[in-house]
């Protein structure tokens, strides 16, 4: 039996959907508006939310947006009226798990719910397994693709969170450091862009949002396009160790400025290097200057 919250302001429609859900042995609670739904979610254990689009005070889209912030672990299914394909697409973009047209409730609703709950329960089983993990190692040989490298970093952070290695604040800080190291590997290392040629102003080192003609040109030109990024992450109960190596020309690590001098360097290179040192416990480079090792010590979990 699953605990489902149904958000629908039409009593007739709500009763129809409630009976349909209860016929499949689901336990159903009902609310008439998004504001009431949020209060219910704060007070009652709920596995899934089904919400109509049109509601009197807080509509379905706004409810899903709030859920992404306050209850991101609870999936939401949007029920849409005729001609609401654009709104359904927007709902999926902002976080809805699925949508069902009102005209096809009888045919699609129960199957959609079973699919969503099946995936959610699978995720929970993996979460329980990861929490028991004592060591994990990820090794990738990646093209100079910012999105792939960012995904590898996100996977590292998810595993670290599942292993309870650090808090959300530390996850943000470690992620920021790793993204800056990845940015250096791709743009300064493999693509051999100078600091003047490549300036990136993102505070958290987002390397997927780059609008630079020279970057696009070198991504398609030899030898730059053929170079790989080696990414290795080792997660232990008391530390995270990440190694990122590019295939560029490297530099002389002995010429790196001190931490005080780094803080005075203007531009992305200075800030990125500073954040790497501030957010990680140890940052070292190999003699060739094309590999960085970043270590973060973690408090042993109880």
Residues comprising the chain, all counted: 302
Determine the 3-state secondary structure of 72 from DSSP. Answer: coil
- Domains of the chain with CATH codes: 3-130 (3.40.50.2300), 136-297 (3.30.565.10)
Q: What tokens does 38 get?
A: 């949020």
CB 60 within 8 A of CB 36: no
How far are the Cα atoms of 7, 52, 200, 202, 273 from residue 180, in angstroms, in the given order?
43, 42, 10, 10, 7
pLDDT classification of 302: cutoffs 50, 70, 90? low
Indicate whether this model's pTM tops 0.95: no
> How far apart, in whole angstroms, are the C-alpha atoms of residue 50 and residue 118?
16
17's CB contacts (< 8 A; 6+ apart) are: 6, 8, 50, 79, 105, 109
Angle of CA points 223, 226, 228, to nearest 5°: 120
Determine the 3-state secondary structure of 167 from DSSP. Answer: coil
Q: Please tell me the predicted confidence (pLDDT) of residue 264.
A: 45
- Residue 5's DSSP bridge partners are 29, 49
- Residue 295's DSSP bridge partners are 241, 282
193 pLDDT above the threshold of 60:
yes
Mean pLDDT of 182-191: 93
Percent of the chain with pLDDT over 70: 83
- 16-37 pLDDT, tens digit per residue, is 999 999 999 999 999 999 999 9
How far are the Cα atoms of 6, 17, 61, 67, 72 from residue 87, in angstroms, in the given order?
19, 21, 8, 17, 20
Q: What tokens does 85 get?
A: 């394909």
């Amino acid at each position: 039996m699953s605990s489902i919250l149904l958000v629908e302001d039409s009593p007739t429609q709500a009763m129809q959907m409630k009976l349909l859900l209860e016929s499949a042995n689901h336990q159903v609670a009902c609310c008439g508006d998004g504001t009431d739904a949020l209060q219910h979610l704060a007070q009652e254990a709920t596995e899934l939310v089904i919400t109509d689009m049109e509601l009197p005070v807080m509509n379905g889209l706004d409810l899903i947006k709030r859920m992404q912030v306050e209850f991101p672990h609870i999936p939401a299914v949007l029920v849409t009226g005729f001609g609401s394909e654009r709104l359904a697409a927007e709902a999926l973009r902002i976080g809805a798990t699925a949508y069902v047209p009102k005209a096809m409730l009888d045919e699609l609703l129960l199957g959609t719910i079973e699919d969503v709950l099946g995936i959610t329960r699978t995720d929970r089983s993996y979460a329980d397994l990861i929490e028991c993990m004592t060591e994990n190692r990820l090794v990738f040989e990646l093209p100079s693709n910012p999105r792939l490298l960012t995904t590898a970093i996100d996977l590292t952070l998810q595993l670290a969170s599942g292993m309870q290695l650090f808090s959300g604040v530390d996850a943000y800080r470690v992620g920021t450091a790793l993204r800056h190291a990845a940015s250096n590997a791709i743009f300064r290392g493999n693509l051999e862009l100078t600091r003047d040629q490549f300036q990136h102003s993102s505070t958290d080192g987002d390397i997927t949002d780059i609008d630079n003609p020279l970057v696009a040109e070198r991504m398609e030109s030899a030898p730059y396009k053929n170079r790989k990024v080696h990414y290795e992450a080792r997660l232990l109960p008391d530390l995270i160790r990440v190694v990122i190596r590019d295939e560029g020309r490297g530099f002389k690590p002995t010429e790196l400025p001190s931490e005080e001098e780094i803080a005075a360097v203007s531009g992305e290179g200075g800030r990125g290097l500073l954040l790497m040192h501030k957010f990680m416990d140890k940052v070292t480079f190999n003699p060739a200057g094309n590999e960085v090792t970043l270590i973060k010590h973690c408090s042993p979990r109880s």
